[in-house]
Structure 1
Amino acid sequence: MSQASLSNPDTPGIAHIGIVTVSDRASRGEYEDLGGPAIKDYLDEVLTSPFQPHARVISDDQPLIERTLQELCEQENCCLVVTTGGTGPSARDVTPEATEAVCDRMMPGFGELMRQVSLQKVATAILSRQTAGLLGDSLIVNLPGKPKAIAECMDAVFPAIPYCIDLMDGPRLETNPDRLVAFRPKKK
């Protein structure tokens, strides 16, 4: 059983984490959302600190994506929002544009590292436009849509995420060191 399911969402200090699947077909129920659950499973496996997931499945509509990201960051107080889908080259893939539109500052290193890791697995990873940015005191990270790629990309960038949240005075995210070690500078 995950830490999240044992935790009271009203408990102070609990991390609220948004999980957004961006897919026209999944939002219409034409196929099962596999991306959002893959993110939730990843977080259950890696995090040892309690968290409350806030999951959404929405269409590839830029204004809707923007509103959803703002709602999760500003109303649900999510310190982290992880999206899946909408990062490719097709005309409907607008998740990076929506993320850039709502963010105060971009964090391009996340996308650079995810593409670098993905390119070691598949040549078409160069077509992916993952990115990350900061909206207030929230970090938004765009992942590709395939569940296998989600885990690969999260393994690459997640070691830096807890420290990023620390720097924004967010809740402390602790990881299972047998699965993934989060980077935090040594105290002097």
Structure 2
Amino acid sequence: MPNSFDKNAPAKIGIVTVSDRASRGEYEDRGGPAIHEYLSEVLTSPWEPVAKVIPDDRDTLARTLISLADDMRCCLIITTGGTGPAIRDITPDITEQVCEKMMPGFGELMRKVSLEKVPTAILSRQTAGIRTGSLIINLPGQPKAIGECLDAVFPAIPYCIDLLEGPYLTTNPERIEAFRPKKK
């Protein structure tokens, strides 16, 4: 079931940091602010962040993603953290659990780009999926990797949001050029 978005309101974008330590205040959240800064540089259309810092907890993450998609009507939800092989790394598993449709190309491209930088990128399980018209993308936790991954996939994000009947996102072409097929 697609989300109904208010075309006249700023696009809502969920930014979710998944970290036990950051959620307890023991560790500075650098991932969420890195995503916010990235979006501020790239998007030229009006948008509103909906930021959350939560623990690596299955129920909390599932409720958060569902709420951001179903209740808050975020057209895009970007998570950071919890994508590795450690026991507490559950973000891709919960994303897959709450999504109706998976978008594996996002994860494939992000891993390809990351592998060009560091051999341990093969351990990352980034993924993406669709829930009620919201695109959910899982990113690693390191700010540098966040930027590299978003640079790789962001050209396709506005068109994906279009296909989901979401708000029309525009980008700064000097930073990232959104790809949309030419109309015939």
Question: Structure 1 residue 136: deviation in Å?
Answer: 1.0
Structure 1 residue 156 corresponds to structure 2 residue 140:
no
Three-state SS of the structure 1 residue aligned to 2:82 is coil
Question: How do 1:68-87 and structure 2 match up within 5 A?
Answer: 68-87=64-83
Letter in structure 1 aligned against 2:119: A
* C-alpha distance after superposition, 1:117-173 (max 9, x if no partner): 000000000000000000010000000000000000000000000000000110000
Output the TM-score relative to the length of structure 2: 0.96
Choose from 31, 44, 47 the match for 2:43: 47
- For structure 2, the residue ranges without an aligned partner over 5 or more in a row are 1-5
Q: Give the count of matched residue pairs.
A: 179
Moved over 6 A (4+): none
Q: Give the aligned CA root-mean-square deviation in angstroms.
A: 1.0
Correspondence 1:64 to 2:60: yes
In the alignment, the residues of structure 2 paired with residue 140 and residue 148 of structure 1 have an alpha-carbon distance, to the nearest angstrom, of 20
2:3 is matched with none
Alpha-carbon separation, structure 1, partners of 2:139 and 2:27: 19
- For 1:115, the equivalent position in structure 2 comes to 111
Shift of 1:11: 8.2
Match of 1:7 in 2: none
Whichever residue aligns with residue 123 of structure 2, its letter is: L
TM-score by length of 1: 0.94
Q: Does 1:104 align with 2:100?
A: yes
Q: Who is 1:168 aligned against?
A: 164
Higher relative contact order (CA 8 A, sep 6+): 2
Write the letter of the residue equivalent to 1:25. Answer: R
- Unpaired segments of 5 or more residues in structure 1? 1-9
1:101-124 Cα distance to aligned partner (Å, 9 max, x none): 100000000000000000000000
Residue among 147, 165, 182 paired with 2:178: 182
Corresponding letter in the other structure for 1:77: R
Distance 1:154 1:22 in 2: 17
